[in-house]
Amino acid sequence: MKVTRLSSGISIRRTIAEGTEQQVTAVKAIIQEVKDHGDRAMFRFTEKWDGAKLTSLRVTEEEISQAVDRFDPQLLTDLTEAAANIRKYHESQQQQGYRLDNEDGSYVAQRVTAIESAGLYVPGGTAAYPSSVLMNVIPAQVAGVSRIVLISPPSKDGTLSDGVLASAHILGITEVYKSGGAQAIAALAYGTESIAPVDKITGPGNIFVALAKREVNGDVAIDMIAGPSEIAIIADDSAYADEVAADLLSQAEHDPMASAVLLTTSEQLADAVSKEVKRQLANLPRQAIASPAMINHSMIYLGQTVEELITAANQLAPEHLEIMTEDAEAVAEKIRHAGAIFIGRFSSEPIGDYFAGTNHVLPTNSTARFSSALSVYDFIKRTSIIHYSEQAWQNNKEKIARLARLEGLEGHARAVESRSWEKGNRL
């Protein structure tokens, strides 16, 4: 890993899901094909891109049952326990509406309701992620979403990962479809003969998935446009180099464009971590993915003080931020911008990915400055409710009309003034 001084500035290149002109054009064409030809387009694209010749998009209950039977019982137990942790954490996010009553008989209120349907994209390709099923489905269930749909790319034999289907089984999800890429997003957004459209699409994916989500946004809601994975670690000389290196590589193995950053006050640690990364990369199974990430998009920054490291971390606003310092809790209190914060030596980032209960769908590309992890809040709507009594109208009609006329909206003013105490015939 390259080592540089913080005083020279942070220069990690951010990769935003904009895509090439060719990719954008291809995604638009795929979406239009799905809108025009429905299932027929889905079958054609699935055969073209995934190599699977399908006769039905929907996964049968028998396929789910067979996948569960094949799945390792211990892993099924582990996933079930992880799901319980995730559900417990997200249940704390449930919101209730409220009502404010006034003495004149008027009231205002807020009603909290779940969206009716959600489509959750689960990646396939180089790795299938059962954990993504848990992280996307459980907040939607806790929110009260009545229809939850899973969609995921099939393998060449037309099947989905046993782990993905086992996770769906644990959560009681039976509406599962086989499709990936831009065509899957198009089907969720606009529907086909087999797939009814949804109100919101969540879940990470490759560049074509990200571009498709961007394209359909507005016709349907989306969670976020996620970029490659990121990790930053604040560490002092109390940290262990092998542990820091392992945590950096845990994110680098996701994507050749992933970013792994160490912020430290210790030159000795910086040198040791650089050597450890090289040593651990040598036998990492996903070395071909992690190596370019570490070479092209990762860095070790040396600062004079921990305060300087904190400032740099807030500037980065990373997806994942680990703190391995003497007083990690105090450092964490000063972090304003991060998707998730992992405090202390034993809080390695994968704990959040799988088991702690927090959500691993997190903002990337420094968007943690203004956005948050996927949560129950992403699956609810808040509706304002207004009830004005006759007395409240009488007390305030002139004020409201004056404000309307201030903005040149005579129709607004007249609408308020059109009521009266003595109204006879309603026609």
* Residues assigned a catalytic role: 319-320
Q: Is 74 annotated as a binding residue?
A: no
Instruction: Identify any residues that bridge with 149 across adjacent strands, giving them in sequence order.
Output: 119
353 is in an annotated binding site: yes
Is 388 marked within a binding site? no
The token pair that represents 16 in the structure block: 């935003």
The neighbour count for residue 296, using CB atoms within 10 Å, is 12
- Flag whether 412 is marked binding: yes
Q: Are 202 and 374 in contact (CB under 8 A)?
A: yes
Cα–Cα distance between 208 and 196 in angstroms, integer? Answer: 21
Q: What tokens does 122 get?
A: 């689960």
394 annotated as belonging to a binding site for a ligand: no
Give ∠ CA 126-129-131 in degrees, rounded to 5.
160
Enter the tokens of residue 46. 């699935």
Q: How far apart are CA 34 and CA 50, in angstroms?
A: 16
Scored b (16 or more CB within 10 A) or e, 101-115 reads: eeeeebeeeeebebb
146 annotated to bind ligand: no
Query: Is 37 annotated for ligand binding?
Result: no
Is residue 11 part of an annotated ligand binding site? Answer: no
Cα–Cα distance, 176 to 130 (Å, whole number): 13
User: Across the chain, how many H-helices and E-strands are there?
Assistant: 16, 14
The reply, when asked if residue 327 is annotated as ligand binding, is: no
Give dist(CA 63, CA 162) in Å, integer.
9
Q: What does the block give as tokens for 165?
A: 């289907």
Q: Name the nearest CA neighbour of 25 among 153, 182, 151.
A: 182
Rounded distance between C-alpha atoms, residue 281 and residue 110, angstroms: 53
Q: In whole angstroms, what is the distance from residue 81 CA to residue 84 CA?
A: 5
Indicate the annotated binding residues for NAD(+): 121, 183, 206
Residue numbering of the annotated binding site for substrate: 229, 251, 254, 320, 353, 407, 412
Annotation: binding site:
121, 183, 206, 229, 251, 254, 320, 353, 407, 412
Q: Which residues are annotated as a binding site for Zn(2+)?
A: 251, 254, 353, 412
